[in-house]
């Protein structure tokens, strides 16, 4: 068979070097070609990761056993000989950028699996890659963004599970890697309010739909989709169906998921009510605060609980050791609070204003007397706070420390304001009221931490609202915790008491609990998990919106935003894509047929979304940990499927 | 059938009780007391509280106590079963070593007013923990257990209890003692035993408030005492025991709630599998999904008289409405109420009362509010189904996962109880408990029914009297089912107090118990001593009646105890004690369970000694339990702590009063 010259550019020789000419015959298999190329370069190195890229056809030539003939490669082909794994800048959900080596030759689905292995995120099928928004040129002036290097991290199958120093083994190799792991697994401090305000956020459903046009195709490789070495891509949770989150193994996954959720809230990608926003803000504040103190690495909540329980026990044992009998005594005298406070009861139309009395707080009740000297007598009034509502009414600037109590009584709520002199006094009484409202007494172990958390939250107000500082130990601008809409609506001063109110309900949560709570509330939002696409229904005259969620498709009126119709997957018989006219057709039970073409995204993306969710729903049945890649591609691949 | 439980106030309710109710209650109490004390004895034995554990010895043989598996010295006179005199929980001060007959029960001093009687006796030095075997771990373990126990005891001391009168729709009534730790589920279980209803999942305890014309089904996980404590003294509120289809409708037909917008007809023939799927989607994820309810409701709020139509939306975080001129996007919604502090109630006949547009109203209010108030949100729906939707939706938003857990538990109970009824049915000696509850209530004359149910209920509560057991055939090996109640019990009905024999069985030393058997009949003993008699019931029998289940299972006869006088017991014992069902422990029960003492040796199919009784030898408890039928059911609720003392007095007084003025 006649020999001919194959033109191959070898990346390692540099961009200037002329392409190599390798003499081949058509029945030479690819493996042989590669061997010849390597010989010709006369370079000694590990070539195992290299493969041939066929420039004109935009495809990889990966089957080493196939002959050139079978691959259809002739003398006019220009091939590139290059490594399959190249550095990629990856934007994480938390906003940080990490550089790591990703496969440019494998389908994106598998590429993401590799990335997730490096990042230590389980269930990579839930994530995918997204092209970033076109960045404006002027941003180049800014100093290079910080990039975390992870290109030399080489995880192997075992290292994800073997913990060394509380982190996957491949992160424990160097201090830099440890820093990266810390970044990955600990939530980022609250961003400055300006950052939130400046960051792009979709203002309507069409803009939300546009985001979804940027997903990469899971069944093709990065290079095929014109992603080059060192390009930036975003990695995000794509399918809102999170399988088996275990805080113990999912430190990075949980943190990144939280970050994605938090940004979705802050950037108003998902709508929530004011009450919900305040709770999200309180949780963010709490998570930020606890992340600073709680060493998260290697901590598993169960262990912590056990530890503290043991410590607590030891303590008690020590006490008890000397004389067991006095244990009773040490427990019986319930702690009490006594002080002069001012009280105001709006209900009674007496003189408006606060009157001072001597107050005692015992068990779950507040009693007050004319003066300290009278305190052995019958109190003027006793109020049991169990089940009451406690609301702070605080302004540090105005030196106002009030506790508003709504005490339930058979004929309604009894409204009472207590005014304290200063922060310390306020924190103590407030904490006591909080506990009492839940039926706990001052003896409860959580009392001191409750006092502490109130104090630290008050500290927030002390910071000058003018300075927009990111979160530090104590101070935080409450504008960093809410979306721009609420930044505009309220001043930081006004936000503080509102957030404080919600904060009371979450202040006792551990870091993991708080993150999980955040995710729960996020997932309970009515619009959660819906990805939007602008589509044109067959026979329809105008664009409409199709929402794809983990269990249903939603047809939404574009102008009004109302849900027109919902179809659930379990009533779906089949769906097809007509690749020629780029139309998705779906048949449901009861002979319901719909068809639409996609406006803001390629129909492959829509197809992949639907197939992807169906794939996600099959997971629970498979007990094994291995991912059924083939099934995924079957469901999402379309006509190019493997 | 509707059982209604009237409850007002301890005093009041006691005075209102019928004679026979009182008798029955008394009988229960006494039996429970007995059991409790025995148990306590066991506890304190388990728990040679570093210090005081000791005992007022007694004339009874002293089982040697093996401390936590240490080959420790047998603490001689210590710890006999006479716990009555020494019900003091661990923390009690050391009693004198004297084997004082302890005529008057000593109370845990800190817990209640000490009765006149001598306080326990000072105890011998704490059993040496230093034994050679002592590994540190074990020591830590035992200590931990002790502490736990002690803490539990302390908690116990403060337990609040309520007496609740139970009436059926036909006028008959039951009286329950509910302690503050009991959940509604516990009380329901108790009622299932006392009545022979079909125990299906729809049975519900429900609170009514005639002032507000509202009612609300308690959720199974809720604490029972708490809502009742919110009632005012003169309240005419009642608690009904009834079947409510709406209780778990959402789990039976989730599509009606989650797909409410869809066509009703398609929903009707939804397959079970699809229903399951819906449940999984909405209740099994990381977060509970609330039905996306929205629609026009009429609201009357802030004390105004008019009803205003508003467009409402339900979200997990609360109930919102769309303000005038705004859209229903999240950001514009106004929160009317969040559910942390309010409960949702069905309202009745509001067309009349408040001129509501329809009679399908519900309200949201703080549980403590009992009268009309501006803090109540009144809502009115167009039709009944809408009302059910909203009330159920709000319950899901408020209780979340707990609701689904309740349902699953309820389903389990139903299946369990079904087999129970079947079982009973097969036993000739039992009075047809299989009759459908409805029928029974509808037609059976009250007394008869009462009797029957009493009998049933008593069965668990009282250890079967020995004679009865002898007559009875050996309990069938079926582990799940309790042995049939002795017929004797039934015939006795609620009236007579339990046979004294029972008491003698207990480890009680003669003097104090003597009082008890007589209890209901003669004038009550001096209050003080009475008060003393109620040691705080040990924590472990709390989730009240451990239902007759496989715990007391296999081969009861096998376990029947060759009474080894002492035995090492599992170090885990105290801990085990804290857990509801003792782990099946193959260890042969040791020192003839206390019952063995004064009683003739148990026949092969042992008449179960009251579970707590085994207490005598702490170690034996779990095993003994296994050897017999279910432990006495009502121990905990009744056994009153220090406060119980007062309660007893009141009870006695009330009874006396009744008797004297027939």
- pLDDT digits over B345-395, tens only? 999 999 999 999 999 999 999 998 998 888 899 999 999 999 999 999 999
| pLDDT at position B441 | 37
Question: B258 near B291, Cβ under 8 Å?
Answer: yes
Q: What is the mean pLDDT of residues B20-32?
A: 56
Locate tokens 């709000």: which residue? B394
> Is B122 in CB contact (< 8 Å) with chain A?
no
Tokens of B457: 């209920």
Please report which confidence band the pLDDT of residue B87 belongs to, taking 50, 70 and 90 as the band edges.
very low
Q: How far from each other are the two terminal CA atoms of chain A, in whole angstroms?
A: 32
> Is B129 in CB contact (< 8 Å) with chain A?
no
Task: Report the distance separating Cα B567 and Cα B590, nearest Å.
Answer: 6
Task: Report the distance separating Cα A482 and Cα A466, nearest Å.
Answer: 17
Residue-wise pLDDT for A63-82, tens only, equals: 889 999 999 998 889 999 99
By DSSP bridging, strand A78-83 and strand A3-10 are parallel
> Is B327 in CB contact (< 8 Å) with chain A?
yes
Q: What is the DSSP letter of A573?
A: E
Residue-wise pLDDT for B155-199, tens only, equals: 666 677 888 876 666 667 788 888 888 999 998 888 888 887 778
Q: What is the DSSP letter of B388?
A: H
List the single best residue of B151, B231, B268, B315 to mutate versus A (max A Cβ within 10 A).
B315
| pLDDT at position B320 | 95
| pLDDT at position B378 | 94
> Is B284 in CB contact (< 8 Å) with chain A?
no
Helix residue ranges per DSSP H, B55-166: 136-157
Task: Report the distance separating Cα A293 and Cα A456, nearest Å.
Answer: 13
Tokens of A324: 């067991």
Cβ pairs bridging A and B (under 8 Å): 131
Q: Do A526 and B140 touch (CB under 8 A)?
A: no
Please report which confidence band the pLDDT of residue A34 belongs to, taking 50, 70 and 90 as the band edges.
very high
Which of A320, A389, A525 lies at the smallest CB-CB distance from B50? A320
Task: Report the distance separating Cα B447 and Cα B35, nearest Å.
Answer: 28
| pLDDT at position A240 | 92
Please report which confidence band the pLDDT of residue A203 belongs to, taking 50, 70 and 90 as the band edges.
confident
Give the 3-state secondary structure percentages of chain B, helix then strand then coil, rounded to 5.
40, 10, 50
Comparison of pLDDT for B53 and B279, the residue scoring more: B279
Q: Do B369 and A410 touch (CB under 8 A)?
A: yes
Which residues have C-beta within 8 Å of that of residue B2, sequence separation ≥ 6? B168, B169, B240, B241, B242
> Is B164 in CB contact (< 8 Å) with chain A?
no
B50: nearest CA in chain A?
A: A324
| pLDDT at position B294 | 93
By DSSP bridging, strand A365-369 and strand A163-164 are unpaired
Residue-wise pLDDT for B419-458, tens only, equals: 655 554 444 443 333 333 333 333 433 333 333 333 333 3
Residues in chain A: 642
| pLDDT at position A348 | 54
| pLDDT at position B496 | 40
Q: What is the mean pLDDT of residues B15-38?
A: 55
| pLDDT at position B420 | 54
| pLDDT at position B221 | 93
By DSSP bridging, strand A381-384 and strand A59-61 are unpaired
Which of B50, B285, B368 lies at the smallest CB-CB distance from A387? B368
Question: A444 near A435, Cβ under 8 Å?
Answer: yes
Tokens of A602: 């390629």
Please report which confidence band the pLDDT of residue B154 belongs to, taking 50, 70 and 90 as the band edges.
low
How many angstroms away from the CA of A346 is the closest CA of chain B?
A: 15
Q: What is the mean pLDDT of residues A526-550?
A: 92
Comparison of pLDDT for A423 and B16, the residue scoring more: A423
| pLDDT at position A167 | 74
Please report which confidence band the pLDDT of residue B26 belongs to, taking 50, 70 and 90 as the band edges.
low
Comparison of pLDDT for A165 and B440, the residue scoring more: A165
| pLDDT at position B38 | 57
Task: Report the distance separating Cα A397 and Cα B583, nearest Å.
Answer: 61
Q: What is the mean pLDDT of residues A76-95?
A: 92
Q: Do B94 and A521 touch (CB under 8 A)?
A: no
Q: What is the largest CA-CA distance in chain B?
A: 85
Q: Do B369 and A413 touch (CB under 8 A)?
A: yes
Question: In this model, does residue B520 exceed pLDDT 50?
Answer: no
Which of B287, B315, B371 lies at the smallest CB-CB distance from A523? B287
A483: nearest CA in chain B?
A: B331
Q: Do A526 and B369 touch (CB under 8 A)?
A: no
Q: Do B341 and A332 touch (CB under 8 A)?
A: no
Choose from A408-412, B143-147, B487-491 the range with maximum mean pLDDT.
A408-412
Q: What is the mean pLDDT of residues A347-374?
A: 81
Q: What is the mean pLDDT of residues B484-488?
A: 42
Residue-wise pLDDT for B278-300, tens only, equals: 898 888 887 889 999 999 999 99
Nearest Cα residue to B503 out of B101, B31, B62, B29:
B31
Question: In this model, does residue B321 exceed pLDDT 90?
Answer: yes
| Long-range pairs of B304-309 with CB within 8 A, sequence gap ≥ 24 | B305/B354, B305/B355, B307/B354, B307/B355, B307/B356, B307/B357, B307/B378, B307/B380
Tokens of B294: 């929205």
B229: chain A residues, CB-CB within 8 Å: none
Q: What is the mean pLDDT of residues B264-272?
A: 78
Choose from A105-114, B87-96, B422-431, B623-632 the range with maximum mean pLDDT.
A105-114
Task: Report the distance separating Cα B101 and Cα B184, nearest Å.
Answer: 41
Q: Do B316 and A389 touch (CB under 8 A)?
A: no
Q: Do A411 and B372 touch (CB under 8 A)?
A: yes
Q: Do A328 and B331 touch (CB under 8 A)?
A: no
* Residue % of chain A over a pLDDT of 90: 32
List the single best residue of B209, B284, B342, B375 to mutate versus A (max A Cβ within 10 A).
B375
Residue-wise pLDDT for B525-579, tens only, equals: 444 434 333 444 444 444 444 444 444 434 344 444 444 444 444 443 344 334 3
Q: How far from each other are the two terminal CA atoms of chain B, in whole angstroms?
A: 30
Locate tokens 């089904």: which residue? B217
CA A145 to chain centre: 21
Cα distances from B637 to residues A285, A593, B149, B490, in angstroms, run 44, 62, 18, 22
By DSSP bridging, strand A85-91 and strand A232-237 are parallel
Tokens of A338: 């006594």
Question: In this model, does residue B344 exceed pLDDT 80?
Answer: yes
> Is B294 in CB contact (< 8 Å) with chain A?
no
Q: Do A325 and B286 touch (CB under 8 A)?
A: no
Tokens of A588: 């449901």
Nearest Cα residue to B46 out of B613, B507, B505, B571:
B571
Choose from A573-577, B85-89, B647-651 the range with maximum mean pLDDT.
A573-577
Which of A272, A324, A387 lies at the smallest CB-CB distance from B49? A324
Question: A390 near A434, Cβ under 8 Å?
Answer: yes
Q: Do B315 and A526 touch (CB under 8 A)?
A: yes
Please give the radius of gyration of chain A, using alpha carbons only, rounded to the nearest integer: 31
Which of A272, A275, A332 lies at the smallest CB-CB distance from B338? A275
B329: nearest CA in chain A?
A: A271
> Is B371 in CB contact (< 8 Å) with chain A?
yes
B266: nearest CA in chain A?
A: A590
> Is B315 in CB contact (< 8 Å) with chain A?
yes
| pLDDT at position A282 | 93
| pLDDT at position B657 | 64
Which of A273, A320, A324 lies at the smallest CB-CB distance from B317? A273
Cα distances from A326 to residues A329, B51, B127, B140, in angstroms, run 5, 10, 18, 19
Nearest Cα residue to B635 out of B27, B24, B35:
B35
User: Environment class of residue A47 by beta-carbon count within 10 Å: exposed (0-12), middle (13-18) or buried (19+)?
Assistant: middle
A311: chain B residues, CB-CB within 8 Å: none
* Residue % of chain B over a pLDDT of 70: 40
Please report which confidence band the pLDDT of residue A158 belongs to, taking 50, 70 and 90 as the band edges.
low
Q: What is the mean pLDDT of residues A142-150?
A: 72
Give me the DSSP letters along B552-573. G-S-GGGG-----S-----TTH
Q: Do A525 and B330 touch (CB under 8 A)?
A: yes
Cα distances from A14 to residues A17, A89, B35, in angstroms, run 6, 22, 91
B142: nearest CA in chain A?
A: A317
User: How does the average pLDDT of chain B come out, rounded?
Assistant: 61
Q: Do A519 and B286 touch (CB under 8 A)?
A: yes
Locate tokens 């119980």: which residue? B644
Task: Report the distance separating Cα B435 and Cα B432, nearest Å.
Answer: 6
Comparison of pLDDT for B600 and A506, the residue scoring more: A506
Q: Do A389 and B341 touch (CB under 8 A)?
A: yes
B52: chain A residues, CB-CB within 8 Å: 324-325
Task: Report the distance separating Cα B452 and Cα A29, nearest Å.
Answer: 91
Q: Do A524 and B375 touch (CB under 8 A)?
A: no
Helix (H, G, I), strand (E, B) or coil at B87: coil
Cα distances from B311 to residues A473, B380, B381, B431, in angstroms, run 44, 12, 11, 56
Return the minimum-mean-pLDDT range out of A13-22, A540-549, A618-627, B504-513.
B504-513
Which of A316, A389, A521 lies at the smallest CB-CB distance from B147? A316
Residue-wise pLDDT for A321-332, tens only, equals: 444 444 444 445
Question: In this model, does residue A261 exceed pLDDT 60?
Answer: yes
Choose from A23-27, A318-322, B59-63 the range with maximum mean pLDDT.
A23-27
Angle at A363 between CA A357 and CA A364, to 5 degrees: 75
| pLDDT at position A478 | 84
Tokens of B650: 């009141």
Give me the DSSP letters along B92-116. SPPPPSS-----SPP--TTTSPPPS
| pLDDT at position B600 | 43
Q: Which neighbouring-strand residues pair with A391?
A: A404
| pLDDT at position A556 | 92
Please report which confidence band the pLDDT of residue B647 belongs to, taking 50, 70 and 90 as the band edges.
low
Q: What is the mean pLDDT of residues A212-225?
A: 93
How many angstroms away from the CA of B225 is the closest CA of chain A?
A: 14
B143: nearest CA in chain A?
A: A317
> Is B128 in CB contact (< 8 Å) with chain A?
no
| pLDDT at position B310 | 94
List the single best residue of B124, B254, B330, B341 to mutate versus A (max A Cβ within 10 A).
B330
B155: chain A residues, CB-CB within 8 Å: none
Q: What is the mean pLDDT of residues A416-436?
A: 89
Q: What is the DSSP letter of A96?
A: -
User: How does the average pLDDT of chain A come out, rounded?
Assistant: 83
Residue-wise pLDDT for B212-240, tens only, equals: 999 999 999 998 888 888 888 888 888 88
Q: What is the mean pLDDT of residues B604-629?
A: 39
Task: Report the distance separating Cα B483 and Cα B607, nearest Å.
Answer: 9
* Residue % of chain B over a pLDDT of 90: 19
Tokens of B6: 């009237």
B 46-105 near A (Cβ less than 8 A): 49-52, 90-94
């Amino acid at each position: 068979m006649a020999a001919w010259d194959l033109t191959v550019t070898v990346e390692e020789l540099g961009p200037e070097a002329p392409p190599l000419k390798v003499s081949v015959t058509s029945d030479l298999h690819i493996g042989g070609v590669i061997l010849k190329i390597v010989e010709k370069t006369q370079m000694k190195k590990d070539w195992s990761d290299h493969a041939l890229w066929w420039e004109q056809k935009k495809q990889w030539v990966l089957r080493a056993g196939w002959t050139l003939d079978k691959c259809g490669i002739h003398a006019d082909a220009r091939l590139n000989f290059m490594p399959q794994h190249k550095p990629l800048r990856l934007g994480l959900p938390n906003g940080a950028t990490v550089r790591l080596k990703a496969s440019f030759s494998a389908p994106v689905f598998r590429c993401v699996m590799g990335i997730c292995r490096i990042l230590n995120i389980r269930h990579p099928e839930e994530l995918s890659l997204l092209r970033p928004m076109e960045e404006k040129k002027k941003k180049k002036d800014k100093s290079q963004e910080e990039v975390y290097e992870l290109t030399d991290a080489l995880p192997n199958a075992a290292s994800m599970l073997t913990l060394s120093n509380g982190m996957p083994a491949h992160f424990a190799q160097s201090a830099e890697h440890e820093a990266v792991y810390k970044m990955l697994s600990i939530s980022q401090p609250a961003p400055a309010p300006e950052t939130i305000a400046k960051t792009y956020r979709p203002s309507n459903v069409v803009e939300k739909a546009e985001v979804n046009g940027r997903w990469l195709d899971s069944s093709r490789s990065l290079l095929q989709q014109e992603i080059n070495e060192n390009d930036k891509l975003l990695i995000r949770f794509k399918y809102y169906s999170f399988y088996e989150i275990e805080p113990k193994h999912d430190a990075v996954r949980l943190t990144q998921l939280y970050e994605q959720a938090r940004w979705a809230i802050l950037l108003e990608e998902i709508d929530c009510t004011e009450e919900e926003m305040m709770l999200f803000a309180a949780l963010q504040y709490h998570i930020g605060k606890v992340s600073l103190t709680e060493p998260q690495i290697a901590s598993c909540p169960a262990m912590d609980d056990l530890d503290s329980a043991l410590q607590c026990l030891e303590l008690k044992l020590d006490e008890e050791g000397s004389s067991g009998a006095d244990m009773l005594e040490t427990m019986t005298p319930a702690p009490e609070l006594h002080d002069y406070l001012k009280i105001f009861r709006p209900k009674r139309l007496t003189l408006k204003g606060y009157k001072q009395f001597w107050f005692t707080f015992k068990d779950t009740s507040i009693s007050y007397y004319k003066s300290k000297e009278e305190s052995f007598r019958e109190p003027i009034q006793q109020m049991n706070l169990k089940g009451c509502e406690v609301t702070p009414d605080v302004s540090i600037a105005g030196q106002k420390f009030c506790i508003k109590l709504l005490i339930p009584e058979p004929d309604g709520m009894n409204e009472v304001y207590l005014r304290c002199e200063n922060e310390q006094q306020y924190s103590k009484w407030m904490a006591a009221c909080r506990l009492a409202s839940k039926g706990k007494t001052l003896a409860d172990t959580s009392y001191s931490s409750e006092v502490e958390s109130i104090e630290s939250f008050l500290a927030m107000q002390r910071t000058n609202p003018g300075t927009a500082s990111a979160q530090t130990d104590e101070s935080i601008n409450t504008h960093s915790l809410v979306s721009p809409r609420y930044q505009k609506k309220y001043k930081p001063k006004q936000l503080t008491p509102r957030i404080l109110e919600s904060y009371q309900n979450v202040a006792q949560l551990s870091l993991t609990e708080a993150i999980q709570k955040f995710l729960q509330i996020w997932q309970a939002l009515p619009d959660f998990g819906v990805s939007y696409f602008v589509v044109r229904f067959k026979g329809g005259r105008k664009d409409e919106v199709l929402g794809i969620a983990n269990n249903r498709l939603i047809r939404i009126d574009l102008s009004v935003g109302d849900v027109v119709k919902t179809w659930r997957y379990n009533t779906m018989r089949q769906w097809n894509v007509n690749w020629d006219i780029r139309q998705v057709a779906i048949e449901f039970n009861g002979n319901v047929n719909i068809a639409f073409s996609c406006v803001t995204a390629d129909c492959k993306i829509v197809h992949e979304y639907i197939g992807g969710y169906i794939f996600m729903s099959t997971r629970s049945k498979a007990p094994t940990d291995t991912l059924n890649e083939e099934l995924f591609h079957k469901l999402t691949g379309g006509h190019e499927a493997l | 059938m509707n059982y209604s439980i009237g409850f007002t106030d301890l005093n009041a309710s006691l005075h209102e009780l019928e004679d026979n109710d009182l008798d029955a209650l008394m009988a229960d109490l006494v039996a429970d007391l007995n059991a409790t004390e025995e148990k306590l004895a066991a506890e304190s034995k388990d728990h040679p509280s570093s210090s005081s554990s000791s005992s007022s010895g007694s004339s009874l043989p002293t089982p040697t106590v093996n401390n936590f598996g240490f080959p420790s010295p047998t603490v001689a006179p210590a710890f006999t079963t006479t716990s009555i005199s020494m019900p003091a929980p661990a923390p009690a001060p050391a009693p004198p070593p004297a084997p004082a007959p302890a005529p008057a029960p000593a109370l845990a001093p800190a817990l209640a007013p000490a009765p006149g009687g001598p306080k326990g006796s000072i105890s011998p030095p704490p059993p040496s923990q230093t034994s050679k075997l002592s590994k540190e771990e074990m020591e830590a373990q035992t200590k931990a257990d002790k502490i736990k126990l002690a803490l539990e005891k302390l908690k116990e001391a403060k337990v609040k209890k309520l007496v609740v009168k139970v009436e059926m729709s036909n006028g008959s009534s039951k009286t329950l003692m509910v302690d503050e730790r009991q959940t509604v589920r516990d009380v329901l279980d108790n009622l299932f035993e006392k009545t022979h209803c079909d125990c299906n999942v729809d049975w519900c305890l429900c609170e009514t408030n005639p002032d507000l014309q509202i009612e609300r089904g308690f959720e199974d996980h809720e604490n029972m005492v708490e809502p009742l404590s919110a009632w005012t003294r003169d309240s005419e509120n009642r608690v009904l025991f009834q079947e409510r289809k709406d209780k778990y409708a959402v789990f039976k037909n989730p599509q009606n709630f989650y797909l409410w917008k869809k066509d009703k007809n398609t929903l009707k023939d939804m397959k079970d599998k699809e229903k399951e799927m819906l449940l999984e989607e909405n209740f099994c994820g990381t977060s509970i999904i609330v039905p996306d309810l929205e629609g026009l409701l009429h609201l009357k709020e802030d004390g105004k008289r008019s009803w205003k139509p508003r467009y409402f939306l339900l979200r997990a975080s609360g109930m919102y409405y769309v303000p005038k001129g705004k859209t229903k996007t999240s950001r514009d919604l106004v929160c009317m109420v969040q559910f942390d502090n309010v409960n949702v109630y069905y309202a009745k006949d509001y067309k009349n009362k408040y001129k509501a547009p329809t009679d399908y109203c519900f309200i949201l209010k703080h549980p403590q509010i009992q009268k009309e108030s501006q803090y109540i949100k009144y809502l009115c729906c167009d039709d009944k189904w809408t009302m059910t939707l909203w009330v159920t939706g709000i319950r899901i938003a408020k209780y979340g996962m707990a609701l689904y857990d309740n349902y699953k538990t309820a389903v389990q109970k139903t299946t369990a109880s079904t087999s129970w009824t079947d079982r009973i049915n097969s036993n000739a000696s039992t009075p047809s408990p299989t009759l459908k509850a409805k029928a029974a209530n509808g037609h059976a004359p009250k007394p008869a029914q009462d009797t029957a149910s009493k009998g049933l209920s008593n069965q668990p509560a009282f250890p079967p009297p020995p004679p009865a057991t002898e007559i009875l055939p050996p309990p069938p090996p079926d582990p799940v089912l309790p042995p049939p109640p002795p017929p004797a019990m039934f015939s006795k009905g609620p009236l007579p107090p339990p046979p004294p024999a029972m008491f003698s069985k207990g480890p009680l030393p003669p003097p104090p118990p003597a009082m008890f058997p007589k209890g209901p009949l003669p004038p009550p003993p001096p209050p003080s001593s009475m008060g003393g008699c109620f040691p705080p019931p040990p924590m472990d029998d709390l989730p009240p009646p451990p239902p007759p289940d496989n715990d007391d299972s296999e081969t009861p006869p096998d376990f029947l105890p060759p009474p080894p006088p002492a035995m090492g017991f599992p170090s885990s014992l105290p801990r085990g004690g804290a857990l509801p069902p003792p782990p099946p422990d193959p260890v042969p029960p040791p020192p003839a369970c206390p019952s063995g003492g004064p009683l003739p040796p148990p026949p092969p199919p042992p008449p179960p000694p009251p579970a707590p009784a085994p207490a005598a030898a702490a170690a034996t408890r779990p095993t003994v339990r296994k050897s017999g039928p279910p432990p006495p059911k009502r121990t905990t609720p009744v056994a009153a702590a220090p406060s119980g003392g007062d309660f007893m007095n009141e009870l006695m007084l009330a009874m006396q009063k009744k008797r004297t003025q027939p």
